[in-house]
Structure 1
Amino acid sequence: MTTRRLGTVASVSAWAIAASVSLASVAHGEERFDLDATIEAAKKEPPITVYAVTGKIVDTVQAFSEKYGLQANGKKVNEATQVELMIREHQAGNVVGDVSLAMDVASAVGQMLPEGIATSWTPPDLAGDIPEPLRNPLVVVSDPHVWTYNTQKYEKCPITNIWQLTEPEWKGKVAMLDLFDKPLYADWFNQIANHRDKDVARAYEAQYGKALDTQGESATAAWVKAFAANGPLLADSSTVAEAAGAPGQAEPFFAITSTAKYRENVTKGLKLGICAGMEPFTGFLYPGFGLIAAQTKSPNAAKLFVRYLMTAEGIAPQTVDGKISGNRTIALPADEASGVSKHLDELMVFDAATAGDDLDKRETWQDLWRINYRK
C-alpha cells in the first residue's frame, strides 16, 4: 500500500528537480551571489513567514528581523501540517509560509520538491562548509533521536542490543513516539531496511549466538514485528521523556527520544542518559531541510533567512538542544545537556536519497506495526 499524495505526482526524479530549481540567476552552473545585494533586495519585499517544528523559531525570526532590519514571522507547525499547508497554499496561489524548516523529510523528497511546491537553495558563500550530501536538499539541522535510560535507576544502560527490546523483560516497558502521529519512525524502519539490514541481522546473531531465520523477509521486518509484539508505549515526546527520565521511579521505561528533551534534565530534574554503544546503533539523525516555497513573493528574504540558519548565530537556539548544524564548522555548545557530540559516530544517518521510497513504504511499515502490536 502506498501513501496517498496530494496534487499530481511528477514522474521526474526529486533530485533532478531540486538540482534544477533555483531562486536566483545561474551562470555557467554556479549561482551568482552577493550578500549585501540580497539584503537590500529583501528590504523591498513583503514580510516572510517561517514554519518550523520548534517553538524557538519565534525568537530566531525576531533576532533575524532585528539583525537585517526586516519583518518576519515565525510559526510552530508540526511536520505533517507544514506539508499540508504548503501544498494547499501552492494550489491556491496564496503563499503564507515562505520558508519551511524541518518538515516531513519523506514528503519533501517524494512530493514537495518533485512537484515544484518547494525548492532547495544552498548559500553559495557557505557551500564549502556544508558537506556535499547535505546541500541538495539543504539540511539545515539534524535532530538526534537516541536510545535513552534513567540514570538514577541504572548505573549504566541496561540495554546493549536492540533485540533485547523484544524480550519478555521489556514487554510494555519501552516508550517511543507514536509512529501513526509521527511517521518519521515508520520512515526510520524503512531506512534501516534499506541501509542497515545486515547490521540488524548481525546484532541478532551477536545477541543469541545463531543466525536469524528471516523466513524470506528482511531482518528489519523481523525486528519490527517482534518489537511491536512487545507492546511499546506510544506517546508524544513529553510523555516519552517523562516515562524514561522522571526521578524516583522503581521501574522506569527505556525509550528512544530526541536529544532536545535532555534539556529537561536541567529544567525539570529528569534523569535521561544516552545508551551509548548499543548495537547496531545508538539512535539516528533525522535531517531537517530548509525549503523555500516556490511561489514566494519574497525570494531574497527567504534566501537570507535560510542563510542565517546556516550560521552559528542563527542556529544557536537549536544546537543548545543537541541538534547538529548542516554547517560542519558549527559545533555543539559545551553545555549541551545530552553529550551527544561524543556519540555521533554511533548514530544511523538518514539517507535523503531514498526518502522517496520511505514515503512509498510508510503505510506498509505502519500496517506491519498495527498487525503485530500487542499491549
Structure 2
Amino acid sequence: MEMKKKGKAASSLLVGLGLLVMLGACSSKTTGGGATTAEGNKPAAKEGNVAAASDWAEKNGLNKTETTDELYAKAKGEGKVVVYSQSSRIKDVKATFEAKYPGVKVEAFNMSTNDIVEKVIREQGAGIYNADVIFVKDAIGAVTTELTTKKLVHKYIPKDLSDKMVEPYKSKSSGLVPYFSLRAIFYNTDVYKTSPITNWWDLTQPEWKGKVLLNDPIDSADMMDLFLAMVQHSDEMKQAYKDKFGKDIVLNGTENAAYEFIKQFLKNDPVLMKSSDEVVEAVGVSTQGKPPIGIGASSKLRDVIEKKLSIAATYDVKPKISVVGPSYLYVADKAPNVNAAKLMIRYMAGEADGKADGFKPFNVMGSWSTRIDNGRTDQPAIDKLSVWDYDSDYFYKNFVKFREFWLKMQ
C-alpha cells in the first residue's frame, strides 16, 4: 500500500476551495446579496431574510410539541416527505416509515455532506424549496455556518424528546442530534489482546512507519475535524507528548504541539485510503505478523460480525480518544411537507419512548445515542467517553490553514 500522491490531494484541495467560494457566492444570492463581513470573503445574511425564515418556523410550529397522531393526520394530506440524507441507511428508514404511516411516501436522497450543503444553498437561492428533512453532519462547521446561521434549515426538538436527551444535545444544540460517532483507532484482535496504541504520539514512532491507515483529510471532513480538534487543543497534545516521552516537546518549525504531531505523523508514512470501509477491512483481515493500525469511522464496528473482521476500537488514548461527530436532523426552510418532516424527525429520533424503528438503523456499535433511554450497553457509556466537543466555528475558521499545512508536509 502506498501513500496517495500529492497531485491527487492538491486536486481535491482545488475542488474544496471551489466549493467554499461557490458556497459564499450562492449564500449571497440566498440572502439577497447582503454586505460582506470584516473577513471580506464571507457574505453576511440579510437580517430581514433571517427574520422571515424564523417567522416561518414559528408559524409552522417548529417550537411546539405535537402528538404523532396529530402530525400523521396532517402529513397524510401532504402525501410525502423529502429527505436529504448523509447516510445510506435512510433506505431502511424509508421502508419502516412507509409501513407505519401509510399514505406518506418517503423520497430519500443519499448524498455527501458537501453535496447536501451545496444543493440546499443552490435550490433555496433559486427560490426552490424541495427538501423537508436535512439529515447531515456538520463537516468542518459548514452546516452551521452556511445553513443554520442563515436559517436555511431550522431546529426542531419537541419537548417530549428533549426531556430524554443529555446535554449539550438537550438544549444547546443547533438541531436535533439523535446520535454521534467518532473517528476511532482500530486494531487487529487476532494479534493484539488490547490496543497497542495508548497515546496519539505512538503513531509517530518507527515501529508504525507505513503501518497506519486513514482517510485522507483532504477528502474526508470527519478526518479533518479530528486533526482540527487536536490543533484547537494543542496544549493537551503538548501534555500527551510529555506523558509519552517524559520531557517537554521541542517544536521544529511548527507553531504548536498539534502541528508538530501532524508533521511527525506524516513523516512516518501513513497510508491514505479512500474510505473507512477500506481502513477497517485492511486492519481486520490482515494476515501480517504485525498488522496495521487504522483510523476510521467508529460506526464501522457494525461490520465486524457481517464481514467477519478481527477488529476492535480503542477507548483509552491520550489526550483524548477523538472529537464527537454529531449527526443532525433539521427541517428545511419553507419545507413543503412540514408536518411530514416533523413526523419523520420524531421517528428517526426514536419517538417519545425511544423505541421507534426509525432510530434502529443508527443504533449500532460505534454510535452513541444522545438519549438516556435507548443507548447501547455493549460499549462505553456516553458519559465515560474521553472526547473533545465539536466546535463548528473554530473548525470552519481554521480548516483552510490546516489543509495548506497538510499538503505542504506531504
TM-score range, shorter chain: 0.7 to 0.9
> Paired residues, what number?
361
Query: Whole-Å Cα distance in 2 between the matches of residues 161 and 92 of structure 1?
Result: 49
Give the superposition deviation at 1:223: 1.3
The residue that corresponds to 2:366 in the other structure is: 322
Q: How far apart are the structure 1 equivalents of 2:55 and 2:261?
A: 40
Aligned to 2:34: none
- Give RMSD over aligned pairs: 2.7
Contact 1:177 1:237 in 2 (8 A): yes
Q: Name the amino acid aligned to 1:301.
A: A
Which residue of 250, 265, 277 maps to 2:316? 277
- Give the counterpart letter for 1:345 in structure 2: K
Q: Relative to 1, partners in 2 of residues 1:212 and 1:124: Cα closer, same or farther, differing over 3 Å?
A: same
1:340 CA displacement: 3.3
Matched, 1:80 2:124: no
Query: In structure 1, the residue corresponding to 2:324 is in which secondary structure?
Result: strand
For the residue of structure 2 that corresponds to 1:72, the secondary structure is strand
CA distance in 1, matches of 2:400, 2:181: 23
Question: Which of 340, 360, 385 is the equivalent residue of 1:301?
Answer: 340
Contact 1:58 1:75 in 2 (8 A): no
CA contact (8 A) 2:138 2:392 kept: no
The question of 1:100 aligning with 2:138 is answered no
Q: Which moved more, 1:323-332 or 1:205-214?
A: 323-332
Q: Secondary structure at the match of 2:305?
A: helix
C-alpha displacement of 1:237: 1.4
Letter of the 2:243 counterpart: A
- Taking the aligned partners of 2:321 and 2:65, their CA distance within structure 1 comes to 41
- Measured after TM superposition, the shift of residue 124 of structure 1 is 2.4
Deviation at 1:66, TM superposition (A): 1.9
Please state how far the C-alpha of 1:361 moved relative to its aligned partner: 1.3
Secondary structure of the corresponding residue to residue 148 of structure 1: strand
1:141 alignment counterpart: 179
Change (3 A) 1:305 1:30: closer
Aligned to 1:35: 68
Q: Tell whether the 8 Å contact from 1:138 to 1:289 is kept in structure 2 after alignment.
A: yes
Whether the aligned pair in 2 keeps the contact of 1:263 and 1:321 (CA below 8 Å) is: yes
| Aligned-partner SS, 1:94 | coil
Structure 2 stretches of 5 or more lacking a match?
A: 1-12, 29-42
Counterparts in 2 of 1:222 and 1:113: CA distance versus 1, 3 Å: same
Q: Output aligned runs, 1:226-375, within 5 Å.
A: 226-235=264-273, 236-311=275-350, 312-313=355-356, 314-332=358-376, 339-341=378-380, 345-351=384-390, 354-373=391-410
Amino acid at match of 1:54: S
2: CA distance, partners of 1:367 / 1:139: 31
What amino acid does structure 2 have at the position aligned with 1:356? D
Measured in 1, the distance between the counterparts of 2:182 and 2:405 equals: 25
Deviations 1:150-176 (A, max 9, x none): 111223222221111112221221111
Query: What is the SS of the residue equivalent to 2:182?
Result: strand
SS in 2 for 1:290: strand
How far is 1:55 from its partner? 1.7
Gaps in structure 1 of 5+ consecutive residues: none
* Cα deviations by residue, 1:272-317 (Å, 9 ceiling, x for unpaired): 1122322112333211111221121011111111111111322111
Letter in 2 for 1:40: A
CA deviation after TM superposition for structure 1 residue 367, in Å: 1.2
- Work out whether 1:89 is the aligned partner of 2:119: no
What residue identity is the alignment partner of 1:355? S
Tell me, in whole angstroms, the C-alpha distance in 1 between the residues paired with 2:381 and 2:284. 20
Alignment match, 2:151: 116
- Give the percent of matched residue pairs that are identical in Structure 1 and Structure 2: 25
Contact 2:283–2:292 (CA<8 Å) still a contact in 1? yes
Shift of 1:204: 0.2
Deviations 1:332-364 (A, max 9, x none): 1x5xxxx5335862341433xx30221221121
- 8 Å contact 1:99–1:293 — kept in the other structure? yes
User: Does the aligned pair in 2 maintain the 1:310–1:325 contact within 8 Å?
Assistant: no
**8 Å CA contact 2:302, 2:366 repeated in 1:** no
Distance change >3 Å, CA 172–CA 210, structure 1 → 2 = same
Q: Deviations over 1:3-37 (max 9, x none)?
A: 53332233699xx98x957734499x963534332
Q: Does 1:57 align with 2:95?
A: no
Is the CA contact (8 Å cut-off) linking 1:120 and 1:291 kept in structure 2? yes
Distance in 1 of aligned mates of 2:254 and 2:46:
32
The one-letter amino acid paired with 2:188 is N
Distance 1:178 1:303, change over 3 A: same
Return the match for 2:162 from 127, 130, 151: 127
Whole-Å separation in 1 of the counterparts to 2:237 and 2:272: 22
Q: Contact between 1:50 and 1:73, CA under 8 Å: does it hold in 2?
A: yes
Aligned partner of 2:184: which letter? V
Report SS of the residue matched to 1:252. coil
The residue type paired with residue 159 of structure 1 is I
Please give the TM-score of this superposition, normalised by the length of structure 2.
Answer: 0.80
- What are the equivalent positions in structure 2 for 1:132-171 lying under 5 Å apart? 132-134=167-169, 135-171=173-209
TM-score (norm 1): 0.87
Do the aligned partners of 2:71 and 2:343 also contact (CA within 8 Å) in 1? yes
Distance 1:26 1:348 in 2: 36
Following the alignment from structure 2 to structure 1, what is the Cα–Cα distance between the partners of residues 294 and 302?
A: 16
